[in-house]
Structure 1
Amino acid sequence: MTDDGRRYPAGLPRHSVSAGGAVIRDDGRVLVIKRRDNGAWVQPGGVVELDEDPRDTVRREILEETGVEVEPEVLTGVYKNMERGIVSLVFRCRVVGGTARPTAEADEVAWLDPSELSERMDEAFAVRLTDALQDAGPCMRIHDGKNLL
């Protein structure tokens, strides 16, 4: 039974859905954060609330985590963590306001050159941003939390 009292059929797997942003400046640099909870470099984003449009999640989470206001433009990828059952939607976003700064959720906020992504980020997270830079339509990938499968 779920926290809100709904029942799932026996054996039905449960998933979590998150949404993140590939925020790309005009100079090609990409917005990333260093999470306070685990020190990992990732694109900003978070859990989609039950009553929330994923694009609103992207707007909310990026503002909370970076101080940057964005407008999601296009879905660039769907990524599933096979170990944890998390499905992540990534949207390419344009900046519409705010200033990048550390927050309660991010020790550091940085605008990285695309060549720096694989140096700082695990493969499963760097690929979300490199996919968004390709402009080839939505990609779909699976991973184990660090590496593509």
Structure 2
Amino acid sequence: MADYIHEIRALVGHRPMILNTAAGALLDDHNRLLLQERADTGGWSFPGGYMEFGQSYAETCKREYLEDAGIEVEPLKLLRIFDDDFYTYPNGDQTQLITALYLVRQTGGKPLDHVTDETKQVKYFDLDKVPTLFNGQSNKMVQAVIDEVNSWQAG
């Protein structure tokens, strides 16, 4: 979690907060989706995270993807904004997450091959075989990616 969020949480404790986040959907040549196994909850999610003060959603996506997955990305398309999901972290922090999900392409780096403070591992998954996800919003995000891939195949 970013220093900005730690500073805010020090002031408000576990009270409900609206937080802006950005995430990226990276597909390989077989349309498999790269996901991150989170160190904090153990669930899987899209590489991404909290916006820092002064950053755009796209900048946040790029920064967080590199931190969480070890991969430099370029946002290609905003797939959707998710704004109706609530989550309580294991430490009691309550949030309403407003997340911008981008379709991204890799521009550098390589998938993490070691554990970090935020990531246990990263791995590609077939869209119909994703593991247990971090929260309901992540499930909706997978569906947005499936819808995007289906639109390519229909078009």
By the TM > 0.5 criterion, same fold?
yes
Determine which of 30, 33, 39 is the counterpart of 1:30: 33
Structure with the higher fraction of residues in helix conformation: 2
Q: Secondary structure at the match of 1:120?
A: coil
1:126 Cα offset (Å): 2.6
Asked whether 1:62 is paired with 2:52, we answer: no
- Give the aligned partner of residue 19 of structure 1: 22
1:130 Cα offset (Å): 2.6
Which stretch has the larger CA shift, 61-70 or 79-88?
A: 79-88
**Contact 1:66–1:103 (Cα < 8 Å) also in 2:** no
Closer, same or farther: CA 40–86 of 1 in aligned 2, 3 Å: same
1:103 Cα offset (Å): 4.2
Q: How does 1:103-114 map to 2 (within 5 A)?
A: 103-104=115-116, 105-114=118-127
Aligned identity (percent) is: 26
Aligned length: 125
Which stretch has the larger CA shift, 124-133 or 86-95?
A: 124-133
Q: How does 1:43-58 map to 2 (within 5 A)?
A: 43-58=46-61
State the one-letter code of the partner of 1:41.
Answer: W
Q: Secondary structure at the match of 2:49?
A: strand
Structure 2 unaligned residues grouped into runs of 5+ = 1-6, 9-15, 88-94, 150-155
- Give the aligned partner of residue 143 of structure 1: none
**Contact 1:65–1:103 (Cα < 8 Å) also in 2:** no
Q: CA RMSD in A?
A: 2.2
- Give the aligned partner of residue 131 of structure 1: 144
- TM-score, length basis structure 2: 0.72
Q: Secondary structure at the match of 1:61?
A: helix
Q: How far apart, in 2, do the equivalents of 1:14 and 1:62 lie?
A: 23
Q: How far apart, in 1, do the equivalents of 2:86 and 2:125 lie?
A: 28
Q: How far apart, in 2, do the equivalents of 1:71 and 1:51 lie?
A: 19
